[in-house]
Every structure is written in structure tokens, then in C-alpha cells.
Amino acid sequence: MSGAFVIAARRSAVMPVGGAFAGLEVHALAGPVMRACLADAGIAAAQVDEVILSNALGAGGNPARVAALAAGLPEHVAGLSIDRQCAGGLDAVILARAMVESGAAEVVLAGGAESYSRRPLRLRTDPAGGAAVAYDAPPFTPWDAGGWGQERGMHAAAAALAERLGISRAAQDAFAIASHARARATHQPEIVEIEGVLRDGFTRDLTSALAARAKRVAGSIAAANAAIAADGAAFCLVVSERIAMQATRALRIVAGATLGADPQEPGLAPLGAIARVLSLSLAPGMALERSEIMEAYAVQAIACIQGAGLDAARVNMAGGALARGHPVGASGAVLVARLFADLQQGYGLCAIAAAGGIGSALVLKA
């Protein structure tokens, strides 16, 4: 069984809902990013065996197929769409690794794209014949009729986690301020220009005064310490060892894992997956060079960094989702694109939580 390698990784800028990408469908976001990956690696479109695309908010169908055609890939690329909500973009890369290592494919474009601005309206029919009821997201547990699956439920879960762990509003705001500052100070070369945009649209000079005035959404969770809804896309080119040997740059996918955890504390769900991939990757005494941890909420990122025993100084060194925004199905792939851009030696980690108590993690080696 040969290994699987990432030889290119790119993303769009991440733009707030209603921003510069508001008029773009999923395939319009995905296509330029996919083409950039191929161009970076010198891989012809005809060499692509499969596209795996994570999308959480679309209307279903098979957006991976639409994106593959929009990117100019040959008709034989069928496209595989997946939905594991926030974790889907990272899971697409983990699935691509499995396809390559099994010999089912040699060249896979894997990642995610989310047009939050163009998401369809959803209506739940009434079996008794009453009026259909609008909803934003489905439930993520069988005992939940719409609470934990809704954005307000995720806010409440984050607030409960902050209270249980004693992570204050001030600590969360400080974490968010630092995320913005790091993002503002760093050039992020992995971004593909779309609609003339080359920088994340939400990143700003967040100060303590601005954070203190931010609207509270639940408990200690406020607009300043929670990632905003956003549009964006990110993809990785995952290939076999044979192809990687010809590449200018190749990072081995050492380990990947997705595990379920307590659905009422989704913020801690990555801890089990992180522990598993690190146990498969690092010998005792070895350290990670860099980590990209999802910042859906400051409290969730703080809890994962502390719970996994990560070196905070090496986490999200160019800022995180608090400074970018959260294009749900693409966010996990954004982490991989960021890590690929910056990891020059040693081992790097990506990890993300998802609604329903799901955590995914992946380790790359330069």
C-alpha cells in the first residue's frame, strides 16, 4: 500500500455573507480553486480521477459533478459530494487519502465549497396538511427537533462549555483579538483571486473596546468571539506516491481520523480524533511544528488547544476562522490549505469540530 501526498492546496478568500461572493454559486467558487491546484502542481485535467467536494448548505444533488465540469475537468470525473457539516472539508481530504492508498485513484481533488449567501430556503412539510415551516438547519440528534441543530443551539452549547470550563468572556475576546492581529500581519499566498479579491474580507483591527461592545448571542458568546457565516472554497490535490515523486513539493498524509463524541459538547469533539492521529504520527518526545485548529468559537479553540496539550504559540500562526469567517463545508479544507502553505518541515496538525459531536483531525509531514 503506497502513501498519499498533498502536492498542492489552494483556497479562495473567505468573505462574509452578502459580501463580494454573494452572487456566486458553489461551482463558481470551487472551479478557480481547483484549476489553481492543478496549475501549481503541473497536473493536467485529464489526469484527475475524482473530485470530492464537501457542501453543507446547498440544495443537494451532486455539486461535486457541477464543480468538476465548471473547472474544465474531463467528463469521466463523476464527482463525489459529501456532507459532514463543518468537518466535511477535512473529511474530503481524509477520504481522498483512503482512495489513493487503496489504489482506487491516483489523482484526487478534495475539499469543500460553500455559498452561504446562495443557500436555498428550506421548508419542512406538515404530515397533517398544515403550512410548511421554514428552518435553517436539520437536527443533529434524534432527540432534538431543531434546537441543537440550529445556529442558536450551537451558540448555547459554546456558552455552556465556557461556563463549565471557566473560560471567561475576556479570555475569549482576547483570543479573537489575537487571531485578527496574526491574520492582518501575515501574507497568505494560498489564496486564489476570485472577483478581484485576494484577502479575507472580515479580518480587521479588532480592539478590546470593539470586542466589549459586540452583541452578546448566548452567555459569554458574543459576535466578536464567534466566527461569522461566510462564503468560500478550498481544495487539495491528493496523489499517489508515484505522482508525488515528480512533484516540486509534497507533504505526506500521515494519519487522519473522524470520531463521534458527546453531541451536547460538540466543541470538544476533536480531542479524540487529535489523540488518535498524534498517536499514529509522533514518536514520544516529538513535537508539532504547526497546528491549524478551527475557531468556530474562541472557547472551542481554547478548549481544544488546552485539552490536546498543544503549544498555543504554534497554533493558527496566521490567524484562524475568527478572523476569516466560517464557510461551513469548506472550513476543514481551508485548514489544510493554510497548513500546506506554511509547513516547511516536520509535522503539522489540522482539526475541526462539527455539529452532532463529531471531530476530525489530520496530520501532514513535510
DSSP state of 247: S
**Are 134 and 122 within 8 A, CB to CB?**
yes
What is the rounded distance in angstroms from the CA atom of residue 15 to the CA atom of residue 34? 18
107 forms bridges with which residues in the sheet? 239
Q: Own/partner pairs for 147-151, CB < 8 Å, 24+ apart?
A: 148/263, 148/264, 148/355, 148/356, 149/355, 149/356
**Of residues 190, 121, 163, the one with CA closest to residue 297:** 163
**Are 265 and 357 within 8 A, CB to CB?**
yes
Q: Is 27 a catalytic residue?
A: no
- Per the residue annotation, which of 37, 86, 236, 350 is the catalytic one? 86
CB contact set of 306 (below 8 Å; sequence gap of 6+) = none
Q: Is 187 a catalytic residue?
A: no
**Are 98 and 105 within 8 A, CB to CB?**
no
CB contact set of 245 (below 8 Å; sequence gap of 6+) = none
- Per the residue annotation, which of 27, 155, 180, 326 is the catalytic one? 326
Element at 231 (helix H, strand E)? strand 230-240
What is the rounded distance in angstroms from the CA atom of residue 258 to the CA atom of residue 94? 9
- Which phi and psi angles does 176 have, rounded to 5°? -65, -40
| Secondary structure of 65-117 as H, E, C letters | HHHHHHCCCCCCCCCEEECCHHHHHHHHHHHHHHHHHHCCCCEEEEEEEECHH
**String of b and e for 79-95 (b: at least 16 CB within 10 Å)?**
bbbbbbbbbbbbbbbbb
**Are 304 and 351 within 8 A, CB to CB?**
yes
Q: For 297, left (φ over 0), alpha (ψ -120 to 50), or beta? A: beta
Active site residues: 86, 326
